[in-house]
């Protein structure tokens, strides 16, 4: 039996919605399990604990980078950066996907 990997997908949300969906579809087509922030809000300590638990339970961490920094936590740190920092600290293998033309993202996605 082949192992199914859980892959945490992280990015800013509104500007990279289509890109997240593409990565999610690719993961499913490979018969692996996607996980990510759209499954839960990242606005309080309980949610942050849940995010850490999901990252801990994931085999890989995929970061999609576009042109925005994203929503900030109470300390001024972006949630996407906070997730990334935690994944690195947890020694998760990180796969970073950089948007080829972040300046060309539609205005309503910036």
Q: What is the pLDDT of residue 71?
A: 84
Q: What is the pLDDT of residue 105?
A: 67
Residues 36-88 have pLDDT tens digits of: 876 665 566 688 888 999 999 999 999 999 888 888 888 999 999 999 999 99
Res 91 pLDDT > 80:
yes
Q: Report how far apart, in Å, the C-alpha atoms of 59 and of each of 18, 20, 67, 97 are.
A: 23, 18, 26, 17
């Amino acid at each position: 039996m082949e192992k199914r990997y859980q892959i945490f997908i992280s990015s800013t949300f509104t500007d990279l919605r289509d890109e997240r969906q593409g990565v999610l579809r690719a993961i499913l087509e490979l018969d692996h399990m996607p996980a990510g922030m759209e499954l839960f809000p990242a606005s309080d300590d309980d949610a942050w604990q849940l995010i850490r638990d999901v990252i801990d339970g994931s085999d890989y961490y995929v970061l999609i980078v576009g042109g925005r920094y994203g929503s900030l936590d109470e300390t001024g740190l972006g949630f996407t950066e906070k997730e990334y920092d935690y994944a690195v600290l947890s020694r998760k293998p990180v796969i970073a996907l950089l948007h080829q033309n972040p300046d060309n993202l539609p205005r309503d996605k910036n």
